[in-house]
Chain A
Amino acid sequence: MAGAGLTIQKPITVFIAALLTLLILMSYQVADKITGRTVLGNVIFTLLTPIQSGTASTVNGVWNTCVRYFDLVNTNQKNQQLTQEVDELKIRLQASMRERDENQRLREILNLREKLPLKLVAGEVIGGTAKAPLSRIISINRGAKDGADVQMPVVTPSGVVGMIIDVSPVSSKVQLMSDVSSSIGAMLSRNSTAGILSGTGTELCLLKYLPLNADIKVGDAVVTSGQDGIFPEGFPIGKVTKLVKEELYVSAEVTPYQSSAALKEIVVLLQSKNQNPGRAQ
């Protein structure tokens, strides 16, 4: 009888102990909100990402073989390589054009000639989020060894993707700008009206806190404002698809140029905190 009582109580005890332990674990992490990084998360992430990277290579290999077979063309690999190169060149071109414009402005106004160039590193997406739609996070195959660090912007030639929130030696976790806890300084390309672009957990984003008298129309292009100190100014984000009038301000629904579903190759903008000209410290 006593034995039977013990077998019934044992799982309950373990259950309660497990829940308490998990609650303590979660509370500990919430308390560490200043840095936004957790030791446990980093350790598990570091241990598992090489496995994920390896399996991603295998899965992608099989996937690519199937694609090539069905296309009956052996140019897929070449095409991918060229696409990656073109993407990288487009980003470089974009960066150098912005650099040139900025240099010109500085020369005219302040007579300054120097500006630090942006360093880039191209990479691939190796995994998506494990709990959609509650979070929108991807893993990429570039980590600390490649120069990646937290808060570094991740972009594609089409537009902004998000920023790095966790780094292991060989891979990183990227929070997409559509993640519900993401906020980016953004502005309208047409008249530089600035606001804050927040994620909604869906493919769409919301450009908030625009003045009620702001000149904004559906179809307006939205670019980064550089005010967040993370994303350089002028990177394309998306276009306004809907206006929502609040009591004190106007919000605009923004459809990003870069769909998260179609993400494959990305580029990390390697810039240290000191190098970023727009960084608000």
Chain B
Amino acid sequence: MNLLKLLIAVAVIFVLQTMVINRYPYFHLMDLFLLLNIYCALNFNQMVCMGISIPTGLIQDVFSSKGIIGINAFSKTIIVFFISGLSSRLMLKHPLVILLLIAISTNLDYLIILGLHKLFGLDTFPLSGRTLLTASIINSVIGTISYQMTDRIRTKKEYA
């Protein structure tokens, strides 16, 4: 059942990411796959998170890069591994902490991807501070709100 929910979530995110948010300026910088992975990292253990980050990262790679598959899977796996590890030891579910966590993750995601591009000698996108800041703000705000809403629905269902 959980797997089915997850598959539905991935499908919805895939549709939103590739067909809907691209229509709007600024919102195209949103990384819904990253937000899904962070949500999972805050709620599930590291093994489950890696099981989610790798396929979702690969899907994102197939529909975003020209030739190289695995870059997004690599960066997402690193991010979720550390967030999931931290969340099992620390309380990270405060909205401000989540906001900060998503902002850091967004930057880290870009930096890992750019690092891999440089490592493999691929064309790199001249990433500006403005783009990073915009992506961080949009991801953080939308991600935190979505997290709170989803978590509230989940908690209500558990208590019902």
Cβ contacts under 8 Å, A181 to chain B: 66, 122-123
Q: Which of A10, A37, A126, A127 contacts B67 (CB 8 A)?
A: A37
A136 and B121 CA atoms in complex are apart in Å by 19
Contact of A103 with B by CB under 8 A: no
Which residue on B lies nearest to A35, using beta carbons?
A: B67
Contact between chains at A131 and B72 (CB < 8 Å)? yes
The proximity string for B residues 1-43 relative to A, scoring 1 for CB distances below 8 Å and 0 otherwise, is: 0000000000100110111101101001101010000000000
Contact between chains at A29 and B50 (CB < 8 Å)? no
Cβ contacts under 8 Å, A44 to chain B: 58-59, 62, 69
Contact of A139 with B by CB under 8 A: yes
A120-134 contacts to B, CB under 8 A, are 126-134
Which residue on A lies nearest to B123, using beta carbons?
A: A181
A56 and B20 CA atoms in complex are apart in Å by 10
Contact of B150 with A by CB under 8 A: no
Query: How many positions in chain A have a CB within 8 Å of any CB in the partner chain?
Result: 47
In angstroms, how far is the closest chain B Cβ from the Cβ of A197? 15
In angstroms, how far is the closest chain B Cβ from the Cβ of A56? 6
Contact between chains at B125 and A134 (CB < 8 Å)? yes
Contact of A41 with B by CB under 8 A: yes
Residue with the greatest number of chain A CB neighbours at <10 A, chosen from B78, B120, B121 = B120
Residue with the greatest number of chain B CB neighbours at <10 A, chosen from A33, A36, A130 = A130
Contact between chains at B123 and A180 (CB < 8 Å)? yes
Contact of A89 with B by CB under 8 A: no
A127 and B23 CA atoms in complex are apart in Å by 10
A139 and B19 CA atoms in complex are apart in Å by 10
Which residue on A lies nearest to B25, using beta carbons?
A: A261
A8-47 contacts to B, CB under 8 A, are 10-11, 14-15, 18-19, 22-23, 25-27, 29-30, 32-33, 36-38, 40-41, 44-45
Q: Which of B15, B54, B64, B123 contacts A129 (CB 8 A)?
A: B64
Cβ contacts under 8 Å, B124 to chain A: 180
Which residue on A lies nearest to B48, using beta carbons?
A: A11
B105-160 contacts to A, CB under 8 A, are 110, 113, 116, 120-126, 131
A97 and B52 CA atoms in complex are apart in Å by 53
A132-183 contacts to B, CB under 8 A, are 132-135, 137, 139, 165, 175, 179-181
Contact of A225 with B by CB under 8 A: no
Which residue on B lies nearest to A43, using beta carbons?
A: B62
Contact between chains at B125 and A59 (CB < 8 Å)? no
Contact of B87 with A by CB under 8 A: no
Indicate whether A200 sits within 8 Å of B19 (C-beta atoms), given known contacts A41-B69, A131-B64. no
Contact of A258 with B by CB under 8 A: no
A165 and B64 CA atoms in complex are apart in Å by 12
The proximity string for A residues 172-208 relative to B, scoring 1 for CB distances below 8 Å and 0 otherwise, is: 0001000111000000000000000000110000000
Indicate whether A200 sits within 8 Å of B126 (C-beta atoms), given known contacts A29-B69, A129-B63. yes
Cβ contacts under 8 Å, B65 to chain A: 131, 134-135, 137
Instruction: Report 25 cross-chain contacts, Cβ distance below 8 Å, ordered by A residue.
Output: A11-B46, A11-B85, A14-B50, A15-B81, A18-B50, A26-B70, A29-B68, A38-B68, A41-B62, A44-B62, A48-B59, A126-B19, A129-B22, A130-B63, A131-B60, A131-B65, A131-B113, A133-B29, A133-B125, A135-B64, A135-B65, A135-B66, A181-B66, A181-B122, A200-B126
Given A52-B63, A137-B64, A261-B25: 6 more A-B contacts, CB < 8 Å: A32-B67, A44-B69, A55-B19, A56-B19, A127-B19, A134-B64
